Amino acid sequence: MSWISPFALKDMGILGMNRRNHAFVARYNPRRFYPLVDNKLKTKQLAAACGVPTPTLRLVVNAQHEVKYVKNKMQDCEGFAIKPAKGSGGKGILVISGKRGNHFIKSSGKHLNERDMERHISNILAGLYSLGGTPDTALIEDIIQMDPLFEGYSHQGIPDIRVIVFQGYPVMAMLRLATEASDGKANLHQGAVGVGLDMATGKGLRALQFGKSVSRHPDTGKELTSITIPDWKNLLVLASRCYEMTGLGYIGADIVLDRNRGPLMLELNARPGLAIQMTNGEGLLGRLKKIEGLKQQKTDIHDRVSQAMELFGKKTPGP
């Protein structure tokens, strides 16, 4: 067990759970807007109205009696993802990457039969994965085609990019890579690798798994910090647009890169996690305070993103 002194954390401006809840989530996220992000179906509808691209929705399952028709309707689809509309923390997401006879193949390579899949949908409808156990809806979306850029960076799952957006300014970002330990999921606490990204360039800063520094991907051995996200500014603009879309002042936007469609907004989180600070080697608090301290906040998204890139980018040491 290694420990760090609270004063060192304070010096680095690390944001703790209590402070996040008290000074940011509770203050900048009006409760009435929560359903917009807690319900993925609503998020998608809203995004479509605001011109924010998301993975294509194939089917919505609302009631138990519809469950048995799912397999017929999804017959032609090669791969798809089943998600609970009100799920949190990646719970209950089942990714089917292919089909063999009557069996579905999970992204991890495991086989599932039709009954397994139907049970999973029933569980979603009954509210097993939803907040508070309320009845839920199951969404079936197109699977995302991984950008060739990420070849060798991820084990099974699709990497996603988490951007913290504060009052419309992107303040911090990280790339999340699935590993064998995380079972193809991109959640850090489940064992995924997080790579902090430079706000100015989208280049990798430092990588972390299970709270410890790593330099290579544990499964593929690929050098992690060498990665650079292409078209970085556009990705940040997409993330920042979610502020106007939801009215929430402090959110985490999860963005994936699709081979054919480019950056897509996957989901939003009104209580984004704190591990992002460690992948960046920097605390959030200083950056958040900088935004709070701005004299005049810009209304144009592109101006905001440019300002943020300038404020928070790592200054490359001169030659």
Partner 1 sequence: MQRLSLYWIVVLLITAGISLAWLRHTQMQIPFKPGCDTGVWLIEARLSFTASQRPVLASLSIPKNPPGFRIFNEQAASPGYGFSIVGQGENRRAEWSRRTAEGAQTLYYKIQLSPDPLQRQKTEIPPPPPDMVYWQPSEATAALALIEAAGATSSTPESLTREIIKILNTKEKEQNAALLLAEYRQEILLTRLLAEAGIPSRVVQGIFLEDGRRNQSLVPMVEVYAGEKWILFNPATGEQGIPDHFLLWHRSGPSLLDLSGGSSARVSFSMIYQSIPALEMAKIQSDSNGFSFLSMHHLPLDQQGVFKLLLLIPMGALVVTFMRILIGIRTSGTFMPVLIGMAFLQTSLIPGLVYFLAIVGTGLLIRSYLSYLNLLLVARIATIVIIVITLITLASLMAIRLGFHTGMPVTAFPLIIIAWTIERMSILWEEEGMREVMVQGTGSLAVALCAYAFMRHPLVAHLSFNFPELNLIIAALILLLGQYTGYRLFELHRFAAMKDRTP
Burial category of 289 from C-beta neighbours within 10 Å (exposed 0-12, middle 13-18, buried 19 and up): exposed
CA dihedral of 248, 25, 174, 43, whole degrees rounded to 10: -40
Q: Is 31 in the site for partner 1 (CB under 8 A)?
A: no
Q: Is 115 in the site for partner 1 (CB under 8 A)?
A: yes
Name the nearest CA neighbour of 97 among 185, 160, 156.
Answer: 156
Q: Is 102 in the site for partner 1 (CB under 8 A)?
A: no
Token pair, residue 224, equals 């992690």
In sequence order, what are the residues at sequence separation of 6 or more whose Cβ sits closer than 8 angstroms to the Cβ of residue 103?
A: 111, 112, 113
Q: Check: CB of residue 80 under 8 Å from CB of residue 141.
A: yes
Applying CB under 8 A, which of residues 41, 77, 128, 200 lies at the interface with partner 1?
128
Q: Is 23 in the site for partner 1 (CB under 8 A)?
A: yes
How many angstroms separate the CA atoms of 307 and 302, rounded?
9
**Distance in Å, CB of 228 to partner 1, minimum:** 18
Interface residues for partner 1 in 32-91 (CB under 8 A)? 64, 91
Applying CB under 8 A, the span of 13-21, 77-85, 103-111, 303-311 interacting with partner 1 comes to 13-21
Applying CB under 8 A, which of residues 83, 232, 282, 284 lies at the interface with partner 1?
282
Q: Is 18 in the site for partner 1 (CB under 8 A)?
A: yes
Q: Is 122 in the site for partner 1 (CB under 8 A)?
A: yes
Token pair, residue 261, equals 């469609």
How large is the greatest C-alpha to C-alpha distance in the chain, in angstroms?
67
Q: Is 30 in the site for partner 1 (CB under 8 A)?
A: no
**DSSP state letters, 265-281:** EEEEESS--STHHHHHT
Applying CB under 8 A, the span of 69-77, 210-218, 231-239, 247-255 interacting with partner 1 comes to 210-218
Q: Is 277 in the site for partner 1 (CB under 8 A)?
A: yes
Q: Check: CB of residue 191 under 8 Å from CB of residue 275.
A: no
Q: Is 131 in the site for partner 1 (CB under 8 A)?
A: no
Applying CB under 8 A, the span of 51-59, 120-128, 167-175, 248-256 interacting with partner 1 comes to 120-128
Cross-strand partners of 316: none
Interface residues for partner 1 in 168-207 (CB under 8 A)? 190, 206
Applying CB under 8 A, the span of 117-125, 245-253, 258-266, 286-294 interacting with partner 1 comes to 117-125
Applying CB under 8 A, which of residues 114, 230, 281, 310 lies at the interface with partner 1?
281
**Distance in Å, CB of 208 to partner 1, minimum:** 6
Applying CB under 8 A, the span of 50-58, 69-77, 209-217, 227-235 interacting with partner 1 comes to 209-217
- Buried b vs exposed e over 45-64: b needs ≥16 C-beta within 10 Å? ebbeeeebebbeebbebeee
* Measured CA distances, 143 to 35, 39, 83 (Å): 24, 19, 11
Neighbours of 165 (CB within 10 A): 27
Residues lying near partner 1 in the complex (CB under 8 A)? 1-6, 8-10, 12, 14, 16-19, 22-23, 64, 91, 115, 118-119, 122-123, 126-128, 190, 206, 208, 211-213, 277-278, 281-282
